[in-house]
Amino acid sequence: MSFQDSFQKLAKEAVKLVNGVKVVGLGSGTTVGFIVREMAKLPNKESIEFVPTSLQIKLEAEKSSLRIADENRIPDIDIVFDGADQIDSKFNMIKGGGGALLREKVLISAAKKVVIAADASKFVQTLNRSVPIEVHPMARSSVSKKLIEIMGQPLLRTLDKGYPLITENGNLILDTSFPSITDPKKKEVEVKNIAGVVEVGLFTRTADIYYKAKNDGTFETIAFQ
């Protein structure tokens, strides 16, 4: 038994939530990949439109013969499925490890229902990992300076060969460590107010359902109704 078994089981459970919905948002990452592959087995999948956040998940959805909808369907999203890099005891999240934080936040803010799946190690007492911050290339230096002024330690995300990672929106990512994040909502607003910051990987909307995958092949469901 492993996390993979847990994710396969929770994916089977998660797809039951699309019963009767018309538009589904798809976040990014391996967790969502499991859910997309389960969606492929739905008998009524032809009647559902899917809005992906990343090319990786769009390709996975196309492979699963899911109907891809364009951006004008985002206001109509009934439910969105996504993963998380870290979730604190109050269910604030850090996301953006895969670089799709802007699109993920757009979908999560628009969706009527949000479902998050992550392995148990991602659930922590307090957020304590670096926060991905998507920045316009022109503002890289000025944003870095401002982040340092508010006690941040920004690090430009690069690819294996040292080239800067460019997001699907044409921006850069500064992975920024803070000494502590005691108030994620306040920190989200503070960083977002820096000119040149496009989006910040602090997600403070509480999801409706969290699936916590365990390494013994089981999962726990935490639901807010």
Q: Which residues are catalytic?
A: 104
What is the layout of strands, in order, in the sheet containing 67-68? 67-68, 49-52, 23-26, 79-82, 113-119, 209-213, 219-223
Contact 13, 37 (CB under 8 A): no
CA distance 181 to 45: 41
Cα torsion 178, 184, 188, 190: sign: negative
CA distances from 125 to 121, 131, 157 (A): 11, 16, 26
Pairing between strand 172-177 and 79-82? Answer: unpaired
Q: Sign of the CA dihedral 94, 96, 98, 101?
A: positive
Alpha-carbon 196 to chain mean position: 21
Strand extents, DSSP E, the chain = 23-26, 49-52, 67-68, 79-82, 86-87, 93-94, 113-119, 131-135, 153-156, 172-177, 197-200, 202-203, 209-213, 219-223
Residues 82, 28 contacting (CB under 8 angstroms): yes
